[in-house]
Amino acid sequence: MLAIEADALRRTYTSRTGWPRSRRTETEAVRGVTFEVAPGELFGLLGPNGAGKTTTIKMLNTLLLPTSGTARVFGHDVARDPVAVRRRIGYVFGGDRGLYDRLSALDNLRYFAELYGVPARDQKRRIAELLDLVGLTGRERERVEGYSRGMRQRLHIARGLLHRPDVLFLDEPSIGVDPVAARDLRRTVADLAAAGTTVLLTTHYMAEADELCDRIAVIAGGRIRALGTPESLKSRVGDRDVLDIEAYGAGEEALDRVRRVPGVRGVSTEDRGAVQTVSVQTDRGAELHAPVLAALDGVRIGRVVSREPSLEDAYIAIVEEATASTEAPAPTEPPSSTEPPSSTEPSSSTEPDGVPA
């Protein structure tokens, strides 16, 4: 039996805006999403902000009803049998809420174990196991208010696992977590999947998806644009080379000149302080060094490196094709985060408070 089946899921939000005469506005957040996840699989939903990842997860974990379409978790329909679904799932949202700051980690877990109906005789052992899994053994008597973002996130995962769910939903688990903690977090998630839990993870960090996921669905504008193993997604840009050019202040005009160079397939930029990395995807073997640099005439250039395409390049190509081919709103977040998450990353305003159902 499949762990998760999503079949033509759609969700439209209706909201009222404007004053004094309010207007109804409809947002088609998810526009027909279909995928399956096998038991024990670590499946990633990868996409820019506003792509519909959180909305998809909330339909699967019974927090939101689909506008149309169906979904099942281990055979239980999310709309018709939400109680059975909830028994099989746990979920963790990125962000800060959902834990009691004034309590220790241990007391938080005791409290939620009680709330989730973990039998009293199992609680102690289960909590010890989970503290160990998430690497918080030895710190469990400290108050959560003194915890770092990464430690909190790992405690959230422990909380989400108390009732031994078969499926864990992790929505942007590493948002706002420092790079070292994010690496620990990835290890925790990998261990979990190795132990047999099915994990559905959303992220907009490419490296995280590449390292962790068995399969990835790239979602943009409420639709799945590509689905496959990280390797198969990368092979979509296997006929390309990438030039990474360190630049200082290359504006849109200069980038457009690069886009028009024959043989150039895509251009993206990532800013890091004063330095930009301009990544230029070209046809394989096209040797476009000279014409590309000529197109950047007037821009100060640093190092230029030629490399093989990465998952991020595949992702950029997929999202660019998707937004070019539909009238779907363009993703607002530049899809260029190979960087580990930084602590300045704002958390999404649509994030729920993570308090368990």
Ligand X SMILES: Nc1ncnc2c1ncn2[C@@H]1O[C@H](COP(=O)(O)OP(=O)(O)O)[C@@H](O)[C@H]1O
Q: Is 160 in the site for ligand X (CB under 6 A)?
A: no
- Given ligand X, Mg ion, none, residue 268, with its beta carbon under 5 to 8 Å by kind, binds none
In angstroms, give the least distance from the CB of 158 to ligand X.
23
Q: Supply angle C-alpha 28, 33, 38, rounded to 5.
A: 150
Which of 13, 100, 111, 116 forms a contact with ligand X (CB under 6 A)?
13
The set of residues, in sequence order, having a beta carbon less than 8 Å from that of 194 and lying 6+ positions away, is: none
Least distance to ligand X from the beta carbon of 329, Å?
A: 7
Number of residues that bind ligand X (CB under 6 A): 14
Residue 203 contact, options ligand X, Mg ion, none, Cβ 5-8 Å cut-off depending on partner type: none
State which residue, 16 or 125, has the beta carbon closest to ligand X.
Answer: 16
Measure the CA–CA gap between 61 and 166, rounded to whole angstroms.
Answer: 12
CB of 12 to ligand X, least distance (A): 9
Instruction: Determine which residue in the list 31, 46, 54, 216 makes contact with ligand X, applying CB under 6 A.
Output: 54
Per CB under 6 A, 206 contacts ligand X: no
Q: Does 156 bind ligand X (CB under 6 A)?
A: no
Q: Which of 51, 134, 162, 243 binds ligand X (CB under 6 A)?
A: 51
Binding-site size, Mg ion (CB under 5 A): 3
Give the binding range for Mg ion (CB under 5 A) out of 9-17, 28-36, 54-62, 181-189: 54-62
Instruction: State the CB neighbour count (10 A cutoff) for residue 119.
Output: 8
Q: Which is nearer to ligand X, 11 or 163 (CB)?
A: 11
Which residues, 328 to 357, sit near Mg ion by CB under 5 A?
Answer: 348
Identify which range of 34-42, 53-61, 122-130, 306-314 contacts ligand X by CB under 6 A.
53-61
Our finding on whether 232 is near ligand X (CB under 6 A) is no
Taking the least distance from each CB to ligand X, the nearer of 27 and 67 is 27
- SS3 letters across 188-255: HHHHHHHCCCEEEEEECCHHHHHHHCCEEEEEECCEEEEEECHHHHHHCCCCEEEEEEEEECCCHHHH
- Work out the burial of residue 107: count CB atoms within 10 Å of its CB; fewer than 13 is exposed, 13-18 middle, 19 or more buried: middle
Q: Which is nearer to ligand X, 249 or 329 (CB)?
A: 329
Spatial CB neighbours of 161, under 8 Å, sequence gap ≥ 6: 90, 130, 133, 168, 192, 197
Q: Which is nearer to ligand X, 13 or 116 (by Cβ)? A: 13
Determine if 203 is a binding residue for Mg ion (CB under 5 A): no
Phi first, then psi: what are they for 308, rounded to 5°?
-75, 155
User: Which residues inside 314-353 make contact with ligand X, applying CB under 6 A?
Assistant: 348, 350
Rule CB under 5 A: choose which of 54, 197, 268, 279 binds Mg ion: 54
In angstroms, what is the minimal distance from the CB of 95 to Mg ion? 10
Say if residue 20 is preceded by a cis peptide, omega within 30 of 0: yes
Shortest CB 208 distance to Mg ion, Å = 14
- Please say which residue, 40 or 352, places its beta carbon nearer to Mg ion: 352
| Near ligand X by CB under 6 A: residue from 44, 52, 94, 98 | 52
Please report, as residue ranges, which positions from 55 to 84 form the binding site for ligand X (by CB under 6 A). 55
Cα–Cα distance, 131 to 135 (Å, whole number): 6
Residues that bind ligand X (CB under 6 A): 13, 15, 27, 29, 47, 49-55, 348, 350
Binding positions for Mg ion, rule: CB under 5 A: 53-54, 348
